[in-house]
Amino acid sequence: MKHFRISIIVTIVLMGLAGWWGYNHGGMSAAITALWITGVLGVMEVSLSFDNAVVNASVLKNWNAFWQKLFLTVGILVAVFGMRLIFPLAIVAAATGLDMISVWDMALKTPEEYSRHLLGVHEEVAAFGGAFLLLVFLNFLFDEEKDVHWIHWFEEKVGKYGTESLAVLLTLVAVVLCVQMVPEAKRYTVLYSGVIGTAIYVGVGWISSLLEEEGHGEVGKAVAGGSIGGFLYLEVLMPRSPSTA
């Protein structure tokens, strides 16, 4: 438990702040609601980030202490402040044409308006993230070499015939079908978002394959041994779970 001492302390402090904020805005009932929401979000964050932790640990165990600490420190900042704070603000800024400072001010002073703008681009965000995560799922499902099977007979069958190309094809078909479910005014932006999500996944896969090839041994060593190249690979190029998209 000593490894989690700081995490436990930070959790207790933040839970206390959430309860205090709720109490000041609506009494005991609001405090209980704030604690409940904070607790649920904490459990979701831990559960959804567990897969990334396993993958990162398998790589970081070969790095020296300096790069391990740097990755864990900056990685938390990127995941928490980048994807949870900056990314939603950037979405609203792009949707409204406002600068980031104005959107930040909107989120603090008029959260209802901020929420309205964020929900206004829900379809585009869902198309982008959905296409990316569908490809993650399909490529896992089609991986004939994986050892662990959840539905053994089914995964063995699809593993024989499934390929990365089929995964991309099925994802693009899914994007096109989803386009038909949104209002006509949003169809182009939803299609564009889905295609971009697919393209980013394919691009990440291409770069990952370069790192694994023997002809790119120096780049592979950068990832395996810990360096600025390996740091950027894990921090920027590694696909993240839903909690980080």
Contacts of 182 (CB under 8 A, 6+ apart): 123, 190
State how far Cα 140 lies from the chain centre. Answer: 17
d(CA 172, CA 131): 8
Q: Which two tokens stand for residue 180?
A: 């038909």
Q: Is 21 helix (H, G, I), strand (E, B) or coil?
A: helix
Query: Is it the case that residue 118 has pLDDT exceeding 50?
Result: yes
pLDDT tens digits, one per residue of 165-218: 888 999 999 999 999 998 888 899 899 989 998 998 888 777 766 655 544 455
Other C-beta atoms closer than 10 Å to the C-beta of 118 total 18
């938390």: which residue's tokens?
76
Least confident of 96-105, 114-123, 149-158: 149-158
The mean predicted confidence, pLDDT, of the chain is: 78
Other C-beta atoms closer than 10 Å to the C-beta of 198 total 22
pLDDT tens digits, one per residue of 88-112: 888 888 877 888 898 889 888 888 8
Q: Which two tokens stand for residue 176?
A: 């096109």
Count of H-run helices and E-run strands, the chain: 11, 0
d(CA 16, CA 8): 12
Look at residue 160 in the predicted model and tell me its pLDDT. Answer: 75
Least confident of 8-12, 27-31, 126-130, 214-218: 214-218
d(CA 81, CA 91): 14
CA atoms within 13 A on the CB side of 106: 19
Q: Which two tokens stand for residue 117?
A: 């703008």
d(CA 72, CA 65): 11
Q: Which two tokens stand for residue 162?
A: 């499934």
With the C-alpha atoms ordered 141, 145, 150, 155, is the resulting torsion angle positive or negative? positive
